[in-house]
Amino acid sequence: MHALVTIARKEIQESLLSARFALLLVLALVLIPASLYTNYRSYEVRRTDQMEMQRRSMEQLQGLSATQLFTNPDLRVDVYLPPVASSAFAIGFQEAHPRHVVVGRHGVEYGAPLEVSPSLGLFGSIDYLFVVQLLFSLFGVLLSFDTITREKEAGTLRSILASSVRRSTLAAGKFLGGFTMLALPLVIAFLVGLLALALAGLDLTTGGFLGRSVWILTSSLLYVAAFFLMGLLVSTLTRTTYAALVVSLAVWLLAVLVLPRSALLVARIARPVESRQAVLLEKTAALADIERAKGQALQSVYDQDPETWEESRDEVVAPFERQAAETARRLDEEHRLRVDAQRGLALTVARLSPTGSLVSFVTEMAGTGLTAERRFLTDAESYQETLYRELFAKVFMDNLPGGTIRMGADPSLDLEAVPEFTSNPPGPLSSLRIVDLAILAAWSLVLALGAFFALERYDVR
Amino acid sequence: MLEARDLTKRYEDGVLALDHLNLTVDNGEIFCLLGANGAGKTTTINLFFDFIQPTSGRAVIDGIEVAADPIEAKKRASYVSENVMLYGNFTARQNLDFFTRLAGRGDLSREDYYMVLRRVGLQERAFEQRVKSFSKGMRQKLGIAIAILKEAPNVLLDEPTSGLDPKAGADFMELLLELKDEGKAIIMSTHDIFRAKAHADRVGIMKEGRLVMVRTREELTGEDLERLYLEYMQVETHAA
């Protein structure tokens, strides 16, 4: 225990004098608070936009006159994703996917994305997740890749091992000291970032924000520990600092950039999914066929008795309406299942790297992950069912053969009574992806064991 | 007491670095190992510190077999290398503090460190200087200071005076004699035939992993050790 503390203390003293640590501290103190603050400001803009657009959407709907309703049977309602404050940590899908969907008679379609501000998409954005994912993983490796080889080349490794220190104690001390110097800038910058958010007006105690923050910090620490241990393992498997640097950077590149990005590539090849637009076209064609059949059925009833045909109109139309709704739902559901399968495979492949687990965990916890997106779409679909009941089913337009169009509305239709769209993001507990946390912990454990065993066999000559 | 029993080391590439070495060094004795580069001197020391594992045979420190219990065995031995390697950004006192703490001496004060540094002849102004500015002689003195503070009953030195100026070399040997007088068993590998003859209680010559000659100080009286050494080298070369 005494030797462990002595080695850890020496590592800390050495790091404090190193340029690497100073650079990491400065970068962390600049990037983390700045990105949290900026993304929180973007959240506020999105929230204002979302509330305004949602209000206007309802106003437009409720302001429709009877004529407008009848002449616009293909009525659609815009709904907007309510942003969450924790998106300051990770922009997540909010930038990659629509935050706006259009609810229509036959389902939900993606709407145009909302621009918060003119962006340079070419360069991507910086958020807390990016800083940890790239910067801290890189420094994790840079602080540890030469931990053993440097001592070997300097000859101090022999001096240490000659002084009756267990090799496992040496490895543990190296980890303890090195990880402390890696975690310190992260924790300090994180706390400064939270302070910046508080100064920007965010009440940290609401909406489980503080709990989410603690979980995000925990996962980040596990992540950087894994990369530090990765560098330590490489250091125990190589004989020179140069070799350790080359191998460490190659492993880092693979783990952080190549593997997670290849995941979607693999999933797209293994489980291809047609575009949302293709599904929409398929749905439109299928619904047009049903509409045509409905028109023919109505025409047939009309031909039998032009005077009384309207009495049996609802009875004739009902099975076609059901079929249209079921067809639309089936096509949407099938597409969704294929998308989920593709995403599931991509996530599994991405989780082969600690980066995959970190991205999954932090975006879920920030409320900008796949679950939040799915929740938004599910809520939009539920809203579509409500609108269908309260609105779409009460307005009709029958296309009769020969070009005749008949329109009408149920007298019970009350636009004022049409409910507003609501969607609540998943709570902190339902956002908790224990599996990702467990994977990150498992990575650290496996890499630590690898480094310990490799150091036991390390040739110190 | 340091013992080698049929100690043998053959590396993975087939090179036989040490061939059935049998040797006992008693407390209060200096044993100097002479030999050309690659003769097996450093391999012998490496085996005593568990830097490498023996192919066969045993290295024993105070009755404890190194391969069986390296930690306990190494607690009883200090190591001084040809180039004492220290942390350049740390001061002499900080280096001393680090290595003595690793050796289990967490009870020493700053004054204790200064006392030992004075004893090994390091100038006062160097105590709190960063080691990266130290000469080789100063580093070697620091190395012996670490060995002194470890208070181990055995000391193994790997060519410790190599590259030192005559005065620094002589000072170093004086310190070694002090350790011997304290009752420590000392093995020193060296190329310095004259110092070996002057200070060692016994001298051994190694060639191709074997201890080919051992003479006591008394046996060497009146002998020309250099001539003896060269003869052994030549005999071995011709035999090869």
What is the ipTM metric for this complex? 0.87
Q: In the 3-class helix/strand/coil scheme, how is A234-271 assigned residue by residue?
A: HHHHCCCHHHHHHHHHHHHHHHHHHHHHHHHHHHHHHC
Under an 8 A CB cutoff, do A158 and B106 touch?
no
Q: Taking Cα atoms as reference points, which of A228, A183, A180, A173 lies closest to residue A6?
A: A173
Residue ranges of domains in chain B:
1-77+184-240, 81-151
pLDDT of residue A98: 54
Q: What distance in Å separates the CA atoms of residue A220 and residue A187, rounded to the nearest whole number?
A: 10
Under an 8 A CB cutoff, do A162 and B87 touch?
no
Does residue A121 have a pLDDT over 60?
A: no
pLDDT of residue A315: 85
CA distance to partner chain A, nearest, from residue B206 (Å):
20
Q: Give A169's pLDDT tier (boundaries 50, 70, 90).
A: very high
Fold observed for domain B1-77+184-240? Rossmann fold (3.40.50)
Q: Percentage of chain B with pLDDT > 90?
A: 45
Q: Taking Cα atoms as reference points, which of A161, A415, A121, A130 lies closest to residue A256?
A: A130
Q: What distance in Å separates the CA atoms of residue B207 and residue B36, rounded to the nearest whole number?
A: 7
Q: What distance in Å separates the CA atoms of residue B55 and residue B48, rounded to the nearest whole number?
A: 13
Q: What distance in Å separates the CA atoms of residue B53 and residue B47, rounded to the nearest whole number?
A: 6
**Amino acid letter for position A190:** F
CA distance to partner chain B, nearest, from residue A438 (Å):
35
CA distance to partner chain B, nearest, from residue A27 (Å):
25
Q: What are the DSSP calls for chain B, one per residue?
A: -EEEEEEEEE-TTS-EEEEEEEEEE-TT-EEEEEE-TTSSHHHHHHHHTTSS--SEEEEEETTEETTT-HHHHHTTEEEE-SS----TTSBHHHHHHHHHHHTT-----HHHHHHHHHHTT--GGGTTSBGGG--HHHHHHHHHHHHHHHT-SEEEEESTTTT--HHHHHHHHHHHHHHHHTT-EEEEE-S-HHHHHHH-SEEEEEETTEEEEEEEHHHHTT--HHHHHHHHHHHHHHH-
CB contact, 8 Å: A165 with chain B? Answer: yes
pLDDT of residue A227: 97
The residue to which tokens 């028109």 are assigned:
A295
Q: What does the block give as tokens for A30?
A: 């600049």
Give A-chain residues touching B78 at CB under 8 angstroms.
162
CB contact, 8 Å: B227 with chain A? Answer: no
Q: What are phi and psi of A328, to 5 degrees?
A: -60, -45
Size of interface A-B (CB pairs under 8 A): 70
pLDDT of residue A272: 92
CB contact, 8 Å: B89 with chain A? Answer: yes
Under an 8 A CB cutoff, do B46 and A461 touch?
yes
Are B200 and B212 spatial neighbours (Cβ–Cβ below 8 Å)?
Answer: no
CB contact, 8 Å: B71 with chain A? Answer: yes
Q: What does the block give as tokens for B207?
A: 């060639």
CB contact, 8 Å: B90 with chain A? Answer: yes
Are A455 and A167 spatial neighbours (Cβ–Cβ below 8 Å)?
Answer: yes
pLDDT of residue A123: 65
CB contact, 8 Å: B64 with chain A? Answer: no
* Burial letters B153-184, b for 16+ CB under 10 A, else e: bbbbbbbbbbebeeebbebbbebbeebbeeeb
Q: What is the mean pLDDT of chain A?
A: 87
CA distance to partner chain B, nearest, from residue A19 (Å):
13
CB contact, 8 Å: A1 with chain B? Answer: no
0.95 exceeded by pTM: no
Mean pLDDT for A119-144 is 86
Q: What are phi and psi of A60, to 5 degrees?
A: -65, -40
Locate the chain B residue with the closest alpha carbon to A3.
B102
Are A9 and B105 spatial neighbours (Cβ–Cβ below 8 Å)?
Answer: no
Q: Give A71's pLDDT tier (boundaries 50, 70, 90).
A: low
The residue to which tokens 């100026």 are assigned:
B165
To the nearest 5 percent, what fractions of chain A are helix, strand and coil? 70, 5, 25
pLDDT tens, A399-453? Answer: 776 677 777 777 777 888 888 888 887 777 777 889 999 999 999 999 999 999 9
pLDDT of residue A97: 53
Residue ranges of domains in chain A:
2-40+124-268+435-456, 73-85+96-117+273-430
Does residue B166 have a pLDDT over 90?
A: no
Are A327 and A286 spatial neighbours (Cβ–Cβ below 8 Å)?
Answer: yes
Give B-chain residues touching A7 at CB under 8 angstroms.
102
Q: Which residues pair with A100 in a beta bridge?
A: A80
Lowest mean pLDDT among A57-71, A273-287, B75-89: A57-71
Task: Name the residue facing A163 among B83, B94, B150 (closest C-beta).
Answer: B150
Distance from chain centroid for Cα B42: 9
Q: What does the block give as tokens for B56?
A: 């066969």
Q: Taking Cα atoms as reference points, which of A232, A440, A233, A268 lies closest to residue A356?
A: A440
Q: What does the block give as tokens for A287?
A: 């619904």
Task: Name the residue facing B81 among A13, A155, A165 (closest C-beta).
Answer: A155
pLDDT tens, B90-114? Answer: 999 999 999 999 988 878 888 888 9
Are B35 and B26 spatial neighbours (Cβ–Cβ below 8 Å)?
Answer: no
Lowest mean pLDDT among A170-174, A445-449, B128-132: B128-132
Measured in residues, chain B has a length of: 240
pLDDT of residue B237: 45
Angle formed at CA A26 by CA A234 and CA B128, multiple of 5 degrees: 75
Under an 8 A CB cutoff, do A158 and B71 touch?
no
Distance from chain centroid for Cα B209: 17
pLDDT of residue B240: 37
CB contact, 8 Å: B74 with chain A? Answer: yes
